[in-house]
Amino acid sequence: MTVRQDDPGTVLAAGCVLWRRPATPHEGRGVEICVVHRPKYDDWSHPKGKLKRGEDASAGAVREVREETGHDCALGAVLPTVRYLASGRPKQVSYWAAEATSGTFAANREVDRIAWLSPPEARARLTQPRDRVLVDALLDALHTT
């Protein structure tokens, strides 16, 4: 399904809350969440980016995860759509839960670091409150506390 703009000025984007099960779970760490550092903004967020013209939102989310983290992923539950102003323009970001399936990170122009963190650590590291809410939505979707 291709996302359509209701307002022609809205920037459409898509992303994922990327997660994995650690190889050796410890201290109740059932999942780890990947957060990305964007040097342009000096912030930590979930992998996301603008959709290409006519691009399906789910395909764009998978593409952005691969571009920003080097990982392939399997999309899961739809998470809440986030709306906010970016540079004075409305932005709408569609999100999915996505399990990392393979890949290796290599620093790039957009993302210079990633971190795999427990949910509480991810909440603390994320810069924007709107991104923290998505951690809770992921845990609800995975039926994890």
The whole-model pTM stands at 0.90
Q: Where are the beta strands (DSSP E) in the chain?
A: 11-20, 32-38, 43-45, 48-50, 71-86, 89-103, 113-117
Q: How confident is the model at residue 5 (pLDDT cuts 50, 70, 90)?
A: very low
Read off the pLDDT band of 6 (50, 70, 90): low
- Residue 29 is predicted with a pLDDT of 62
Q: For residues 101 and 2, which has the higher predicted lDDT (pLDDT)?
A: 101
Considering only residues 74 and 22, tell me which one the structure prediction assigns the higher pLDDT.
74
Split at pLDDT 50, 70, 90, the class of 26 is low
